[in-house]
């Protein structure tokens, strides 16, 4: 599978979530990793639509709930990842799902 392209033709960065469950929940010790072209130290992070951390590492452990995106080397912003602090969540594996796939759900509190 190919990543979406930015207007400049570079691949848009993607956010990897560990552990790989959606929605991500703060109390799981979520680590976000920005993958894409560009130098890892040239990563810019956005939280809730605002610039949050410039010239940052390409991964970190989340300490606050919110919606995160990254930009690595000016190649465009990644799709958003929401990290929740809800007390009760129904989670699904974070992989791509297609019609007919078997999925694992988990209810957590």
pLDDT at residue 10 in the model? 56
Fold of 14-108: Immunoglobulin-like (2.60.40)
- The per-residue pLDDT for range 14-36, each reduced to its tens digit, is 999 999 888 899 998 999 999 98
What digits encode the pLDDT tens for the residues 47-98?
999 999 998 889 999 999 999 999 988 888 999 999 999 999 888 887 777 8
Three-class SS of residue 88? coil
Q: What is the pLDDT of residue 60?
A: 93
pTM here is: 0.80
pLDDT of 71: 92
- The owner of tokens 């848009």 is 12
Compute the distance between CA of residue 49 and CA of residue 106 in angstroms, rounded to an integer: 29
| Those residues with Cβ within 8 angstroms of residue 61's Cβ, 6 or more apart along the chain or in another chain | 29, 30, 31
pLDDT of residue 30: 94
- The pLDDT of residue 5 is above 90: no
């Amino acid at each position: 599978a190919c990543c979406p392209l930015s207007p400049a033709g570079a691949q848009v960065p993607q956010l990897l979530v560990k552990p790989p469950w959606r929605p991500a929940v703060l109390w799981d010790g979520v680590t976000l990793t920005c993958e894409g072209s560009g130098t890892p130290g040239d990563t810019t992070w956005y939280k809730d639509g605002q610039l949050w951390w410039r010239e940052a590492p390409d991964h970190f452990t989340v300490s606050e709930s919110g919606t995160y995106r990254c930009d690595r080397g000016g190649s465009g912003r990644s799709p958003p990842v929401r990290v929740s602090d809800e007390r009760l969540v129904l989670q699904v594996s974070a992989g791509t799902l297609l019609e007919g796939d078997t999925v694992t759900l988990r209810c957590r509190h």
